[in-house]
Structure 1
């Protein structure tokens, strides 16, 4: 019995010594332990997501990819997979697993190395939130104390939910929701059993066990997890066998982007960082809802890209990307071309080559395998073979310069040879030869009633260039400036019926010692012309004469009302021809003033911001274009609302009269529909006559082209949508040139000098054709203060005739003509305060 007593005394002493050691250790470490109560209000670092107005995901920003889920939102089998491999007794122990600790201690005693973790899920949670991953005894002791505290504070389900959302699983994915997306492009409910096992096996070593890094490592770890799931009866034998046999296939997936608007995403990112700071913006799980309509955004992107392809193809083919092998056309003449090829690789080598090549947007890398008389067989990336028919090849005459192209090809062999690495795209269900456009473009569409941006594309491809031409590129606007000059003229006693002299100007500049001779484009001069017709036909010399009549200072003062920075407006007569440099968004905002009846709205793209709990953090309060808006607040700073839950209504400032806006908008409809009587030989077209095929009478528009066609524009609007398109080269010194006639294309082509109507208008037209059906046509009622009287089309005076020599014109009350046309000699009222004698000599 003495032996038994000694053993009992040893056990008791050891027990109390252990308790004392634990208490002393706890007291020593107590002040170093973090407050686990913070877990009650933990905020997981969740990336910022950007959505369209209709809920489509545009982008996601943040270093850590995380998709927080409640425990009841996770598949039970996925949860059981983690429990099977990480902590089988999770629901039984108090936060620490004594059996596991004894096992780890035994390993330390026998090997001297701390290789066994013995950490429960609760301990891992403590480490992930509060401690480092270094394998030191003191860290392990802290981990145990924290785990016990956590178990006292949270329920088992709360601990497990936090763990499964916090755990690092590789490739910047944190939590099971993000891992399912990153590795398999799925939600957790779409995962198969073997995929669940792969994810459950990652916590041990996510950097080397993930299936993207090593399929073999992932497979081995997956099989261990599946074995544990079988042992714990989470799965049956049949499920185990099927999962073990499944192949490991995985690749990195980004966020599930459902709307392509990268330029918008970057605009939002910058605004959120400015508002909240980078750390908060990227980690608080903000959901940013934009004003963008996903359908309109997709249509804008397609219209812009197709227009650039069309321009690029007009100017010729610049040749292949590279030559994978060399081929030369044999000299003998046969019905089908014969090529002499050297060192042609086998099919596997070609596929391997293509797998290393990158496409861009909808352009797909391909290698030419065979060239026939008027077709070619190509292999696409991925190994698929397709035929390029003649309709997809015949455009490809050679590019010589922006001004010249080669002769139209007569055979495919004149364009392609076997071994060429080319780019192709699919259009109208057939593949065709293509190339990356060199020209650039921008398109912006906004709601003129409140400034909400509905669609915005800042270039051909964001992956090619992040420069957002819609908001960053200040380019000369050409004739897009003229409606604003004419608006100033209406404020200075001119009317749409005023007669101007459309004749060449010769202005001697004594300082420069040269004569300034601005010309119309084309160089056609009509003599006496009404202002309405001059605007619709974009008469340069009339715009200059109007500027002279009202003065440069008065003109610039009027242009400032449309939101244009006076620093961008040159103080000389070239202003009338569009030498001012503005961004497409600034131009669209200016045209919106005419569309909404005279109000300057502020364009915006962020509509609202929600936090991770879907609580409203920010709501933009737009300035509304209306005279009778009820202002519930005097608040004027639209970037900082007085209350996120109680929106205010604030009227946009009126910058021009309703009458002025109506008259210019109506005159710009003549750019589309022209005027006169074609049956009587007096009909005429405006510069935007192509838009007649849209068959809408509520469209107003204006073309714009700068010297040497370096910038081309088209801006147009209805009461519901203002749209501006720009096309040019990023190199502002490079001209868009001209396209010569291509005999292969016939009436399909658009030959001639590149200009607003030829180069920028088609993108606007294609976008509007698809978008405007969602905006029913509206007839614009003239505002109070507008009258309509019959005038003589030649003199602008009142007319009693009802034939083709007269038409109805709108006037601001009090500005109507007071004289009737009489006799055969018109009583011309010139609209320029210069020497009438010189003007009469030019006219007669």
Structure 2
């Protein structure tokens, strides 16, 4: 009995010591343990995703790839594989495996280091969520207490679901949903048993057992997982054999981007970081829905890239990227510095595998794909294209390639394909409707911005040819001289200061002596043609520079500068001199589009925006745009919507719109030899665009004097778009191109000097032909306060004729001409013979 009492006392003493030890450990680590609320609100660090308005994924930002799934959304085989491999008694134990803990304690006693243990799913979750992976005893103590608390607060299913969404699987994939996408490019539910077993084997060592970097070890680990599933009777012997012998099919898959819009995505990323901070923005699981229409965005990107390739082709071919074998013909060297000049020691032709290995390391930039010429025929070249495709490049898709000499000169047209290509050349090609076409990365840059003029929502935005080539977003960052794109704002000021569409201004040369500089200022038209007295409708449509100079003199530079501020322009950016009339001011394409939206929507200044709403990881809307809307009737019910400020009158906007409409459709009578075209007459050739909107199009070209910047900006009632083309190097001019003697009109619709009508307008047309199918486009309705009377085309006075010599013209009520044109009456023409002007 005495021995029994001593044993009992010893057990009680040891138990008390154990309790005190546990209590001591708890006291030592209690401040580091998560609260009950923290445990029940474990946050999955999910990346920020950016979507188009209609739900297409544009981009994903964040270090961790994660696709959260509920337990019900996970295949049972995945659950079985994880449990069989990681913790087959998961639903039976209380969170801690006594055997594992004993093993860890024994390792500590014998080696002085933690060797392993704590292998239950709950303990792995505790370590993964709250602790580091360092092998220290105190960490194991914390892990045990956290495990017990997790088991108290969460059900087994909740623990397992959290584990399967939280655990790392390598390649920055966290959770089984992301792992399925990263390794196999498809949803978890679509994986085979072999693929499921591969993923289930990764938590033990995601790096060393990775099927991409170490397929052999991954296959061995997959077999272990399958054996454990077989032992647990979760699969049959036949299923085991089939899955164990399956090939390793894993390869890296990026996020499932449905529509690439990198410039827009970067704008969203920066906006979200500014709002929430970098860590929160990247890992908070936000879903950002933009205002862009996916169809319009794709059309915008295609239009910009195609247009730059057309420019580059008419200015000539700069040569191959590199020679891989063979000597350059006639001693010529590549026009471009080669990215790699890799000659074999024997200078022999490369084998297909060598070529494929080389091409695998060459970048795809925009529409251009690297290829190698392997053989020349009489009228085609044989290529190996990146990715292994073997294709023929016809001479029809090469004959554009006259030698590039400079921006203004091109060499002779090639007569055979051998005049352009040689075997062994690394070249670039692009895919067209007519097959592969010889290409080069365009040297100029371009930008496009398209807005909904009603509320400023960005419908499409392109900041350059390729985001991979340059992250500089020219749509919102590049302030370039706008040239004649400024003129609609100037005419708006004129209509507010006594001028009408029928006012005559003298289109004649100006020669103004400046005694201060000793130099005469001689602004010129482009082309350098002068037509004498001209109605303002026609002057804007034909973009007469000297008429704009006379208008700014008549209205006053300061008055015009103040009026321009109404279009959202900063007063500090507006030059207070007469060069303003010729577009010396610098603006971004976004600023131009915003200003033109005022004209399109009836005089309201809207604020461009590109984020429609933001949802958190639970799908709750935490931000939704509330844009001010261009709506004249909204003032009657301000609770319904915020009204955008009316900065110019609806009537003023209508009159400017009319003159811009004539830039497209011209005027006069071609049958009576009085017909004329505006600078945007090429729009008339676009049947798809005309089918969508009829004649309800208004626009304006823009070209700087030295042709360093070219523009076209225009609108319908439902969409306003501005396109810019130029070199990033502001010293470079866009130059000239000569007519190619061997190309027909469809292949080379443009030659001569570059200009807004030739260089920027084609991209605008291509985009708008697609975009207007997705917008509401109504007619240019005549607003109240505007009358229409028949005028004489020569004098701008009232006309009694009903023929080609007259037309109906719009006027603000009260500004209509009061006199009829008579055969012997002289027209009233504004000129400014002061200051030494010559007419």
Structure 2 partner of 1:827: 826
Stretch deviating more after TM superposition (342-351 or 392-401): 342-351
Partners of 2:276 and 2:116 in 1: CA distance: 43
**1:602-623 CA-partner distances (Å, limit 9, x unpaired):** 1100111111111111111111
Structure 2 partner of 1:641: none
Shift of 1:11: 6.5
**1:178-200 CA-partner distances (Å, limit 9, x unpaired):** 22222222221122222222222
**1:421-447 CA-partner distances (Å, limit 9, x unpaired):** 001111004011101001000011100
The alignment status of 1:323 with 2:315, answered yes or no, reads no
Among residues 706, 713, 716, which one is paired with 2:714 in the alignment? 716
Which secondary structure state, in structure 2, belongs to the residue aligned with residue 146 of structure 1?
helix
**1:306-330 CA-partner distances (Å, limit 9, x unpaired):** 0000000010100111111114669
Partners of 1:705 and 1:353 in 2: CA distance: 43
Question: Contact 1:215/1:249 (CA < 8 Å) preserved in 2?
Answer: no
Structure 1 partner of 2:194: 194
CA 1:737–1:85 in structure 2 vs 1: closer, same or farther (change >3 Å)? same
CA 1:503–1:833 in structure 2 vs 1: closer, same or farther (change >3 Å)? closer
Which secondary structure state, in structure 1, belongs to the residue aligned with residue 502 of structure 2?
coil
Partners of 1:110 and 1:835 in 2: CA distance: 105
Among residues 521, 524, 538, which one is paired with 1:519 in the alignment? 524
Which secondary structure state, in structure 2, belongs to the residue aligned with residue 678 of structure 1?
coil
Structure 2 partner of 1:467: 472
Question: Contact 1:626/1:652 (CA < 8 Å) preserved in 2?
Answer: yes
Partners of 1:103 and 1:307 in 2: CA distance: 69
Partners of 2:118 and 2:234 in 1: CA distance: 22
Question: Contact 1:548/1:832 (CA < 8 Å) preserved in 2?
Answer: no
The alignment status of 1:255 with 2:255, answered yes or no, reads yes
Shift of 1:588: 0.6
The alignment status of 1:691 with 2:696, answered yes or no, reads no
The alignment status of 1:345 with 2:350, answered yes or no, reads yes
Stretch deviating more after TM superposition (311-320 or 254-263): 254-263
The alignment status of 1:736 with 2:734, answered yes or no, reads yes
Partners of 1:84 and 1:10 in 2: CA distance: 40
Structure 1 partner of 2:335: none
Structure 1 partner of 2:625: 620
CA 1:545–1:511 in structure 2 vs 1: closer, same or farther (change >3 Å)? same
Stretch deviating more after TM superposition (227-236 or 33-42): 33-42
Give runs of aligned pairs for residues 80-91 of structure 1, distance below 5 A. 80-91=80-91
Give runs of aligned pairs for residues 384-395 of structure 1, distance below 5 A. 384-395=389-400
Shift of 1:98: 2.0
Shift of 1:146: 1.7
Structure 1 partner of 2:656: 664
Shift of 1:777: 4.5
Structure 2 partner of 1:725: 723
Question: Contact 1:631/1:650 (CA < 8 Å) preserved in 2?
Answer: no
Structure 2 partner of 1:163: 163
Which secondary structure state, in structure 2, belongs to the residue aligned with residue 424 of structure 1?
strand
Partners of 1:29 and 1:327 in 2: CA distance: 74
Structure 2 partner of 1:404: 409
Among residues 352, 357, 360, which one is paired with 2:362 in the alignment? 357
Question: Contact 1:631/1:651 (CA < 8 Å) preserved in 2?
Answer: no
Stretch deviating more after TM superposition (111-120 or 532-541): 111-120
Structure 1 partner of 2:462: 457
Which secondary structure state, in structure 1, belongs to the residue aligned with residue 634 of structure 2?
coil
The alignment status of 1:50 with 2:55, answered yes or no, reads no
Structure 2 partner of 1:643: none
Structure 2 runs not aligned, ≥5 long? 332-345
Shift of 1:222: 1.8
Structure 1 partner of 2:294: 294
Shift of 1:77: 1.1
Shift of 1:630: 5.2
**1:674-698 CA-partner distances (Å, limit 9, x unpaired):** 0000010100000001111233210
Give runs of aligned pairs for residues 475-624 of structure 1, distance below 5 A. 475-624=480-629
Shift of 1:461: 0.5
Partners of 2:330 and 2:575 in 1: CA distance: 61
**1:146-179 CA-partner distances (Å, limit 9, x unpaired):** 2112111110011111111111222322221222
Shift of 1:107: 5.3
Which secondary structure state, in structure 2, belongs to the residue aligned with residue 623 of structure 1?
coil
Shift of 1:746: 2.8
Which secondary structure state, in structure 2, belongs to the residue aligned with residue 653 of structure 1?
coil
Question: Contact 1:37/1:153 (CA < 8 Å) preserved in 2?
Answer: no
Question: Contact 1:494/1:831 (CA < 8 Å) preserved in 2?
Answer: no
Shift of 1:111: 6.2
**1:10-63 CA-partner distances (Å, limit 9, x unpaired):** 767655654554344334444443324411122222211111110011111122
Partners of 2:685 and 2:179 in 1: CA distance: 51
Which secondary structure state, in structure 1, belongs to the residue aligned with residue 567 of structure 2?
coil
Partners of 2:88 and 2:637 in 1: CA distance: 61
The alignment status of 1:649 with 2:649, answered yes or no, reads no
CA 1:441–1:92 in structure 2 vs 1: closer, same or farther (change >3 Å)? same
Partners of 1:24 and 1:474 in 2: CA distance: 67
Partners of 1:486 and 1:81 in 2: CA distance: 73
Structure 1 partner of 2:343: none
> TM-score, normalising length from structure 1?
0.93
Question: Contact 1:36/1:146 (CA < 8 Å) preserved in 2?
Answer: no
Partners of 2:366 and 2:145 in 1: CA distance: 55
**1:666-719 CA-partner distances (Å, limit 9, x unpaired):** 111101110000010100000001111233210001101001210000011001
Partners of 1:719 and 1:538 in 2: CA distance: 22
CA 1:658–1:384 in structure 2 vs 1: closer, same or farther (change >3 Å)? same
Partners of 1:65 and 1:329 in 2: CA distance: 50
Structure 2 partner of 1:185: 185
CA 1:383–1:29 in structure 2 vs 1: closer, same or farther (change >3 Å)? closer
Shift of 1:392: 0.7
Question: Contact 1:546/1:832 (CA < 8 Å) preserved in 2?
Answer: no
CA 1:134–1:690 in structure 2 vs 1: closer, same or farther (change >3 Å)? same
Which secondary structure state, in structure 2, belongs to the residue aligned with residue 807 of structure 1?
strand
CA 1:756–1:161 in structure 2 vs 1: closer, same or farther (change >3 Å)? same
**1:757-804 CA-partner distances (Å, limit 9, x unpaired):** 100000000111122133355222211111111111001111101121
Question: Contact 2:305/2:366 (CA < 8 Å) preserved in 1?
Answer: no
Partners of 1:104 and 1:279 in 2: CA distance: 35
> TM-score, normalising length from structure 2?
0.94
Give runs of aligned pairs for residues 11-410 of structure 1, distance below 5 A. 17-105=17-105, 114-327=114-327, 342-410=347-415
Give runs of aligned pairs for residues 786-801 of structure 1, distance below 5 A. 786-801=786-801
CA 1:760–1:278 in structure 2 vs 1: closer, same or farther (change >3 Å)? same
Partners of 2:316 and 2:213 in 1: CA distance: 44
Partners of 1:328 and 1:500 in 2: CA distance: 60
Superposition RMSD in Å: 2.2
Question: Contact 1:440/1:460 (CA < 8 Å) preserved in 2?
Answer: yes
Question: Contact 1:404/1:739 (CA < 8 Å) preserved in 2?
Answer: yes
Structure 2 partner of 1:642: none
Tell me how many residue pairs correspond in the alignment.
818
Which secondary structure state, in structure 1, belongs to the residue aligned with residue 436 of structure 2?
strand
**1:495-552 CA-partner distances (Å, limit 9, x unpaired):** 1101111111111111110111111101111111111111100001111111111010
Structure 1 partner of 2:338: none
**1:317-355 CA-partner distances (Å, limit 9, x unpaired):** 001111111146699xxxxxxxxx942122221222112
Structure 1 partner of 2:441: 436
Stretch deviating more after TM superposition (137-146 or 454-463): 137-146
Question: Contact 1:624/1:651 (CA < 8 Å) preserved in 2?
Answer: yes
Shift of 1:119: 2.1
Question: Contact 2:718/2:777 (CA < 8 Å) preserved in 1?
Answer: no
Partners of 2:187 and 2:787 in 1: CA distance: 63
Which secondary structure state, in structure 1, belongs to the residue aligned with residue 632 of structure 2?
coil
Partners of 2:309 and 2:45 in 1: CA distance: 43
Structure 2 partner of 1:673: 665
